[in-house]
Structure formats: C-alpha cells, structure tokens
Structure 1
C-alpha cells in the first residue's frame, strides 16, 4: 500500500509543480485556457502559488508529516473541483480532461494518504 501511495503522490507532486511553473511563466496553453474559461490573467500567480503549496504539502506528507499531506491533498481536490466547475460553467469541454486528470490525481493522493 505504501508503494502505491508513494508513486501516486510523487506523480501528483510533479504534475502540480509543473503546472505551477507553467502558470508562472504564462505559457501559451495556460493563457489560452484561462481566456476560454474567463479567468483573469492577474489570478495566475495566485493559482500557481496554491498549486505549488499543494505540491509542497504533499512532499511534506511523504517526508513524514501525514497531517500536512492530507491537508494538501484536500486543498488540491477542492482546487481542481473548482477548475472543473469553471470549465463546466464556461462550457469549455474540449480540454476538461486536464483539470479532471489533476483532480483524479489529487483525489487518489488524498485517498491513499488517508488509508496510510
């Protein structure tokens, strides 16, 4: 069980750290997606900070502070529920798989963290 927890959590950490960097760099796909769902570009650094904090919290959870890991996973689940909701609200379905994938990773990390 620990192996599954570690693998999924590391994947979730890398995915969220990567997208946080893309947000901060204002990558083209990030700007295009933000515009489609009606997200102001001024929010990108704040959203990147939340994703990076979630990744850091998951890393702390792996390092032996499970309460922080569980809190980070919960925060990421809530964050990506909001992202999926923003896509649905804006009727942008062609790329909803991306926030859905991040949501699935966060939910799996939360489930495995709680099961530890």
Structure 2
C-alpha cells in the first residue's frame, strides 16, 4: 500500500502545486471559472496556500505517516468545499474537475491510512 500511496500521493501533490501556481499567477481560465461561482480574487492566495500546504504534507507524509493522513484529510475537505461551491451555483461544467480531485484525494487518504 505504501508504494501506491507514494505514487498517487506524489501525483496529487504535483497537481496541487500546478493548481496553486495557476491561482497565484491568475491564469485566465482559472479566474473565469472561480469568479463565476462567486470566489473573490482576494481568496486566491489563501486557496493557493492551502493547496501548497496539502502538497507539502503529502510529500512529508512519505516519511511521517500521521502528517500524510492529516494532509490527505485536508485535501479531501478542500475538494468537498470546491465541489460544493460548484453545486451551489449549478456549475456543472466545472464540477467534474473538483469531483475527480476529490476522488483522487480520498484514494490517497485511504492508501496512506492503510499503510501506517
């Protein structure tokens, strides 16, 4: 289970870092998608920091399991919020991305918890 966590967790960490970078650089597509569901531009740095912290926790979690579990829980909660924000505004175009990331985060959480 640990090897599976390492692979999927690192891939999720990279995806989180790319997403954080897009928010910090105010990528046009990200800005349009998030502002359309009511996320103010002022929240972008906070959301990016959450993603960076989650990515760091997943990576450090390779060596310290409880931190990996905590980081994975945080990432799951982050994407529950993201999916909820899309559902609240009936944005079914942006929902699949949030749901895929939520599922991957849940898989990472499960794999890390099982490999303790």
TM over 0.5: yes
Q: Which runs of 4+ in 1 moved over 2 A?
A: none
Shift of 1:47: 0.2
Q: Give the match for residue 28 of structure 2.
A: 28
Q: Determine whether 1:5 maps to 2:9.
A: no
Q: Spell out, residue by residue over 1:48-81, the C-alpha distance to the aligned partner (whole angstroms, 9 max, x if none).
A: 000000000000001x111111100000000100
Aligned mates of 2:72, 2:5 — CA distance in 1: 12
Give the structure with the larger helix fraction. 1
- State the partner residue of 1:50: 50
TM-score normalised by L of structure 2: 0.96
TM-score (norm 1): 0.96
Work out the number of aligned pairs and report it: 115
- Structure 2 unaligned spans of 5+: none
| Range moving further from structure 2, 79-88 or 99-108 | 99-108
